[in-house]
Amino acid sequence: MDFHSPRTWADALALKAEHPEAVPIAGGTDVMVELNFNRHRPPALIDISAVPELAQWDRADGHLRVGAGVSYTRLVRELGPRLPGLAMAARTVGSPQIRNRGTVGGNLGSASPAGDAHPPLLAGRASVELASVRGTRLVPVEEFFTGPKRSVLAADELISAFVVRPAPGPEQFCKVGTRNAMVIAVASFAISLDPEHGRVGTGIGSAAPTPRRAAGAEELLEAELSAAGMWERPRPLPDGLLHRFAELVTSAASPIDDVRGSAAYRRHALAIMARRALSWAWADLMRNGNAPCN
């Protein structure tokens, strides 16, 4: 197996174009597991961890552009207040050691339906920046995943960054696992509220072939809250609305039975997480008004 260690982004892209079968490796928290379990023997690895641009984040046009190589630990520390939902998800990733090495770029690259970062990225309507020697394109996260561990990433492309607006309002993330830490999600859910524009974002993890939004639930909530003037003057959410929201989140999922949990339990857990996450986010909104977090 060849091992390439580019020092610049241009070199990395050139290598990927030259060796389309090569697998990029950053923190190695997913790739090395695949290698150790002999599930995947790529002909080459491209170690992108020494490319300085990937480890940077900055602001542009009211958006945050976060390099694919920023670790979960740095995400929590440096971007926690601006991206609270993603930071909550980042805190549930693995152990401190894994969070020190693992990256959102790697999470996206693996495209696992259980990736912890995916639901908050969906809820925040983030985009993924893909680059190759041919150029750069921006793909909405919702369109990025095409199946279990599959994405629109072309053979010569690398993930350079994700782009997302700072949280426009309260965000929440919760994840069910059968252990209190270091666990892959049995099911997860993220929500983001944008009181200024009257928008709701959601993300479902581990309950469908890909991470996905619950569009019907978003629309319901947006419509009901606008009709009742609740964005301007937040009042406690009616129980019926919480219930219907949870139902629509559940119906957006298509979970399976597997070694981590049953489909029936996943639906059950999603309904409860959806209800709880919405009520917490709404309580934040009522408490803090609709001041943006950035």
Local structure of residue 6 (DSSP, 8 states): -
273 near other proteins, rule: CB under 8 A? yes
User: SS3 of 167, please?
Assistant: coil
Judged by beta carbon, residue 56 or residue 262, the one nearer other proteins is: 262
9 near other proteins, rule: CB under 8 A? no
Judged by beta carbon, residue 12 or residue 237, the one nearer other proteins is: 237
261 near other proteins, rule: CB under 8 A? yes
177 near other proteins, rule: CB under 8 A? yes
CA dihedral 32, 36, 41, 45 (to 10 degrees): 30
Residues 84-123 that bind other proteins (CB under 8 A): 88, 91-92, 95
Minimum CB distance to other proteins, residue 176 (Å)? 6
Q: Which stretch binds other proteins (CB under 8 A): 44-52, 161-169, 213-221, 257-265?
A: 257-265
Near other proteins by CB under 8 A: residue from 14, 98, 101, 280: 280
Half-sphere exposure of 217 (CA within 13 A, CB side): 30
Alpha carbon separation from 68 to 47, 75, 125 (Å, rounded):
13, 11, 17
CB burial string 199-226: b at 16+ within 10 A, e below:
bbbbbbbbbbebbbbbebbbebbbebbe
**For the chain, what is the largest distance between any 2 Cα atoms, rounded to a whole number of angstroms?**
61
Local structure of residue 56 (DSSP, 8 states): -
Near other proteins by CB under 8 A: residue from 10, 32, 155, 181: 181
Interaction pattern, residues 12-41, with other proteins; x per rule: CB under 8 A: ---------------------x--xxx---
